[in-house]
Structure formats: structure tokens, C-alpha cells
Chains A and B, each alone.
Chain A
Amino acid sequence: MKQFDELSLLEIVNEVKDGDLIGIPADYSGVPMMFTKELIKKGVKDLKLYCLPLTTIQGDMLIGSGCVSEIEAAAVTLGEFGLAPRFSEAVETGHILIKDSTCPALHAQLQATEKSVPFMPLRGVIGSDIQKYRKDWQVIENPMKCSGKKNEPILLLPAVLLDVLIFHAPCVDKNGNIQIGRRRELATLTHASKKVFVTTEQILDIDFFDNELSAATCLPALYVDGISVVENGAWPCALPGVYGQDNDEIKKYSIAAKTQKGFEEYMKNYLSN
């Protein structure tokens, strides 16, 4: 029997339900843009984006398309191409709720779920306005008298369990093991998600576990619910080690999306291609 489920892209899209808390990989981890395009076409609503720890064009497009009600992130940006215009406007007009966070907190909340403990402590953050506005975070005094300073306050972050995660990977082996290279945050996201789907450039007729190097850099198939081959699936974002970001396209988007009208015109063309 085949050791994994090969799905169509639409079957993966149909696994995402309105209101889901969905894991969003950073621009360096393999952004599933072809999937995102189909998700927008489907017209999904009220998504809650959990970014690890940031999002670029993927989050901005989902927000501009009206698919998002809430976002938890350390940053939303188009990097060298400036602010994420649909995100900025949606926050300024109050159309989405932003749960402002900081990168290590977004990692730690998922790490708590990986370990199946209810919370994770984190240093720093105390005294910032990020902490002030996060009512789901708590500060306690360090109960471990043997370490840390006397009366040291420490921040506790709740474990976060994602409903669904989709990312794009360079390749998968014949048993459904996913090559993630050094992008280990994809493992963290995966371990903390109820359902995980992967789009990939190709399925190889080899076994990553035959070789120590490829075994150490893969995500085992046991965590993955379905795989779909989607060539060029991260475009216009980069796929580390395979292809770079399409700077011309991101630039084009950054200019068009400055207004909602410009964004809609861009998307009409983008969704039909």
C-alpha cells in the first residue's frame, strides 16, 4: 500500500474551512502560493492567520480578498518592496483584528503544543505594549527559586494548536517524507497542527531514510495528511534552494495593491492565469 495520500490541489483547498486557524509559513520557508490562489477563488471566510513569525504577499492577498478576520503575527511586510498595503489598510480601518506578537513568542506558543504542555515561559517582552495588549498572556513570578533573579517576573504564553497547515516543499520521497532542509520551523508548525497538507515540486522515487543527510533534513510522513504535486507552487515567492523570489512580480503587486481598486485589478488577472 502507498505510504501517503496523494491529493489534488482542490482536495487540499477543500480541507480548509471558514473560521479555521491556519498556519502561515514565513517567506523563507516555502509559501504555498498556488494553494493560496485556489483558496481565494473558493472564497473562504473568517480565516485566522497564525504567522510563523511573519507573512508577506500571501497574507496581504488573503486579507485584501476578504478571507481573513484575524491575524497573529510579528510582522506583515513586503520586505524590500515596502509595507503590505492591504494589511495596513485593513488594520487602520479596523476590518481585521491584529494580535501583535513578537517572533520568539510565536515560536514558543507552538513549541508548547509540540510538548503538549499548557504554556511556555519566555524572557523579554515585559514592559512592552505588545504584552500590554495581549490579554491571553500572563506574567507570574519565577516559581523556581534555584534559577533566575529574585522576584523575577516572567511571561507565560498559551499553547496554540492550529486547525490546519499548508506549506510548499522542494520534494517528497516515495514514502511521503518531506524535504524541508534547514527550515526546521516547518517541523514546529507541523507538530502543532491538527491537519497538515503539503504541496511540492516533485515526488522522487527514493527513500530519504536510506541516507543520513537526507534523513536529517526531512519531515517524516507520519505528520502529514496529504500531498499534492504543484510545480512552481511558491511563485512569486522563493523556494529555498530551488528558485528565488520573482522580484519583478512582487514589485508589481506592491504598486498595484496600494489601493483596493488596484489590488482587485491585479487579482482579477492573477486568479485567471
Chain B
Amino acid sequence: MIELKREELLISQLADLLVNDKHIAVGAASPIPGAAALLAKEEAKLQNNRIRVTILHSNKYNNFTDGARELFDCAAQGRIDTFFLGGVQIDGEANINLVGTGSYKKIQKRFPGSFGSALMYFVVPQIILFREEHSPRTLVDKVDFISAPGFSDENIHRPGGPKFLLTNRALFKFNKQKKRFCLFKIHNNESLENIIKLTGFKFDVDDKITNMSVPDQTRIDILRNKISYMVSEFYPEFADRIWGV
């Protein structure tokens, strides 16, 4: 048997969070979320359930015909259940920064920019934050720039927001009332002590903390035999690197 790759384990963690969705959308630079969404869709089919998936950078796995604004209109209408966001920095109150480090006026290291995060974070009910690198420079106490805030005042229209944060080492839930992350799954090779050391913000730890669940053979087979080829349509480099397809 081919050893399970770290990327496959992460795809599997994300797929577990998508089982109740009707429509999942996936934005820029997101091969792992894209694979997870397509995996959730294939598994739902086997259960006679329907999940729709919109991969923005795909021509084939894409439900939109009304131009690039349709994603935002669709999300604002409440027709997207889950979306994924990343960040150069993510802080303990789930603020995300996609712009750069240092003060904005004298930026040290400039990154691409905020994309659609400043609307999507407000209107999509389940936002899953996904950042592979788990280190004190990515998970910080306070972000240098807020591309989109983790929470808003009561009078602001905000049906959506952060629900989970997945890194290559850990899975956190976000507690909206406490404005604080709670660690509930860690990678098999990780210790709680190490996660605390590598996380730049304070967080709670769930009483029932477990290891990340390893996908069963059926899931691995679907991923390798079917999803891999689908992913190669829109992330060829990634599909080649992980599965050689």
C-alpha cells in the first residue's frame, strides 16, 4: 500500500467538515480544499445525497455563468454553505491578513492581497480557514493587517464567519462567543506541547482531543482513482506532485 501523504490526510479532514453542505465553493490557490470538496461530493453521491461544488479556477467543475461577480452575489444570497480562506497571518480572534507584514504604510513583505475575503467571511455560514504552515509567524497574536475581521458588531449584517482552522499539524474549532479557537484534533506525529509552542496565539483545548482521523481504504481509493484526475484539470502542478497524474 502507498503511504498516506500529508496532503491526503488534510483533504480527508476537510471532507469530514463538508458532509452537511448543499453547495461548497472553492477560491484561488486552493488545491487541497478543492480536492476535499470534490471528494465530499463523490461520497455524497454514494449515499444518494447531492452536494454541488464550484471550483472558481475550473471551467468544468464550476456552476457559474454570470461572470466573476456571481460568486459574491451567490454567497450574499446565502446560496453557498462553505468557503475556504487562508492568510499570511491568522490571529487568535480569527482576523485574517492576506496583504502583508509590517505596518501598512511601510510594508515589509507584500503578499497578493485580500481577494474576496472581505465579503465572503461575512456572508458564508461555514468559513474554514486553511493554512498549511503552522508556525508562530503564520498563527500570530495579532495580525498586522485585517483583510477581514473574525467577528463584527451586532448591528452589522453577518450571517457568516469562521468555524474551523486547519493547519498541517492541527484542527481548531472557533468559538464565536468566546472569540477564541479550541484545539480538538492533532496530527499523529504531534504533541500538544509542540502545538502550543508553534502557535502564536492562546487557545482552548477540547476535553475530547483526538488525533486526526485517518481515511479508510474506500476514501483513499476514491481520492487516488477519481478525485486526483479531476484536480489535474484545474491544479495540474499539484495533481502531478501528489499523485503523479
Residues on A lying within 8 angstroms of B by beta carbon are: 26, 28-29, 52-54, 73-77, 79-80, 83-84, 87-89, 91-92, 100-105, 107, 111, 122-131, 133, 148-153, 182-188, 240-241, 247
Contacts and interface: CB of A to CB of B under 8 A. Distances in A.
15 contacts: A28-B68, A54-B113, A75-B113, A77-B29, A88-B110, A101-B113, A103-B115, A107-B68, A123-B157, A124-B120, A124-B121, A129-B104, A129-B145, A129-B147, A184-B66
A184 B155 contact: no
Nearest to A189: B67
Interface of B: 28-29, 57, 59, 64-72, 76, 98-100, 104, 107-123, 145-149, 152-153, 155-157, 235-238
Looking at B69, B107, B123, the one whose CB has the most chain A CB atoms below 10 A away is B69
Contacts of B64: 182
B118 A125 contact: yes
A104 B69 contact: yes
A53 B66 contact: no
A88 B107 CA distance: 10
B155 A149 contact: yes
Contact of A124 (B123, B145, B236): B123
5 pairs of A and B residues whose beta carbons are closest in the complex = A184-B67, A124-B119, A102-B118, A124-B122, A77-B112
Contact of B123 (A84, A123, A148): A123
Nearest to B102: A92
A219 B238 CA distance: 35
A52 B116 CA distance: 11
A149 B159 CA distance: 12
Nearest to B67: A184
A83 B118 contact: no
B64 to A, nearest CB: 7
B111 A123 contact: no
B237 to A, nearest CB: 5
